[in-house]
């Protein structure tokens, strides 16, 4: 991913590499990749995105969605949008691109591994990432410009 342009293929490759590390401990979970339009449709049903729409944080989902990874804890599915991920990470310095892609994926995947409900899950995921993946967490938060998981 050190090239000037980030490809969707590179995003998939990095995500699948990270997924390979965690697949044995999450045998019932899966990862899927969706093109942008399908991803936006799925995002409409995501509780976090729904809350962002309800509170006005997002008004035009297709234009404003900046979260390239969703996690459905009930179905144990992590959904990744490679076109959105590539678009988000493209303007960033090459040295943090891979960390962002891995970090964005891991912060959703870890929702399946920590305990808690609501904000507790977010806090627990952030704590795990801060201890074990601090550079990845810093990359995600720097690219997104806010602290959230």
Q: Is residue 91 part of a domain?
A: yes
Domain count, the chain: 1
Residue-wise pLDDT for 5-36, tens only, equals 789 999 999 999 999 999 999 999 999 999 99
Q: Is residue 3 part of a domain?
A: no
Q: Is residue 149 part of a domain?
A: no
Q: Is residue 147 part of a domain?
A: no
CB 79 within 8 A of CB 72: yes
- Tell me the pairing of strands 77-80 and 69-72: antiparallel
Residue-wise pLDDT for 84-141, tens only, equals 999 999 999 999 999 999 999 999 999 999 999 888 999 999 999 999 999 999 999 9
Structure tokens at 70: 């969703």
Provide the residue count of the chain. Answer: 149
Q: Is residue 47 part of a domain?
A: yes
Q: Is residue 148 part of a domain?
A: no
- Whether the CA torsion 64, 17, 79, 147 is positive or negative: it is negative
Return d(Cα 149, Cα 147) in angstroms, integer.
7
CB 87 within 8 A of CB 101: no
3-state secondary structure of 133: coil
Q: How distant, in Å, are the alpha carbons of 10, 128, 134 from that of 16?
A: 10, 20, 20
Residue-wise pLDDT for 39-84, tens only, equals 999 999 998 898 889 999 889 989 999 999 999 999 999 999 999 9
Return d(Cα 123, Cα 68) in angstroms, integer.
20
């Amino acid at each position: 991913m050190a090239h000037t342009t980030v490809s969707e293929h590179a995003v998939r490759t990095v995500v699948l590499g990270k997924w390979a590390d965690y697949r044995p401990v999450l045998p019932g979970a899966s990862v899927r990749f969706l093109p942008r339009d399908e991803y936006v449709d799925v995002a409409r049903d995501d509780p976090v995105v729904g809350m962002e729409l309800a509170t006005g944080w997002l008004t035009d989902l297709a234009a404003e969605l900046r979260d390239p990874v969703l996690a459905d804890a009930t179905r144990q599915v992590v959904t990744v949008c490679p076109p959105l991920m590539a678009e988000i990470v493209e303007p960033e310095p090459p040295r943090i691109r891979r960390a962002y892609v891995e970090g964005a994926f891991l912060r959703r995947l870890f929702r399946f591994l920590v305990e808690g409900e609501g904000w507790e899950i977010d806090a627990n995921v952030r704590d795990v990432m801060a201890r074990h993946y601090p550079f990845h967490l810093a990359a995600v938060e720097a690219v997104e410009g806010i602290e959230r998981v």
